[in-house]
Structure 1
């Protein structure tokens, strides 16, 4: 490592790979006295565009409660290691949010991401989120394999 990292993004989706990347992110954040930005994005790229149908699809409270419970466990774990951690739960396109929007917003100097996540089938049609992040992020990217 040539320099110190101060703001680290770690996207998680509940997969074993994202749990491994989270653990690695905690260790690196602790070593660097960095702030860890824990990001969970509900992928809405394939959400229906028809207003009639979209009104019946709820990405809100039930999904948010499940994801927040998962994030809260991770926050507690990182804080027990003495790491400053912030959690973000949002909807949108994970590729552009992780690679472009959040690095700018949080002045990220490192993104730690799992090589694969929950979306194996989506990857066939849309492309790998981690691949997109490696190609488009303005900062260092660590891809974690298990």
Structure 2
């Protein structure tokens, strides 16, 4: 009974893709959990707008290109997910903005997940002190469970 309760508690799973070394592992873990929980699954990616804000960039085009690139990079995983009838629904959204704000306000909160999955990028101590970590931010600020997927070589 205990195992059933654990495996059926996640009905809405959000998976944050970051373009880094763990994103395929994040996608696969999200797919596996969505499969076993018959869950809705939303993949989200945020393109950091800060470097482009003064340049007048077309953010809609940037998001389209970013989505196409991620779809291509993860095409095998996404094909399997879309064919899996045990995953209730699957969506993939890309937004531009300040990463943590946009991730939470535009992608995670409207979806109302009960599980957020992200990757650990393994920032150096100096870089972590300067810019922080999305996974740490999510662990501290989400009201739902957060699963951090470590790089496979660790």
TM-score (norm 1): 0.79
Which residue of 2 is the match for residue 13 of structure 1?
18
- Of 7-16 and 120-129, deviating more is 120-129
Q: State the alpha-carbon separation in 2 of the partners of residues 124 and 64 from structure 1.
A: 32
DSSP 3-state at the match of 2:31? helix
Q: Which runs of 5+ in 1 are unaligned?
A: none
Which residue of 2 is the match for residue 143 of structure 1?
148
Bigger helix share? 2
Aligned length: 140
CA RMSD, 1 decimal: 2.6
Which residue of 2 is the match for residue 81 of structure 1?
84
Structure 2 counterparts to residues 1-146 of structure 1, below 5 A:
1=6, 3-48=8-53, 53-55=54-56, 57-61=57-61, 64-71=64-71, 73=75, 74-82=77-85, 83=87, 84-116=89-121, 123=128, 125-146=130-151
Q: Which runs of 5+ in 2 are unaligned?
A: 1-5
TM-score (norm 2): 0.76
Cα–Cα, structure 1 residues 89 and 116, in superposed 2: closer, same or farther, change >3 Å? same
Cα–Cα, structure 1 residues 90 and 99, in superposed 2: closer, same or farther, change >3 Å? closer
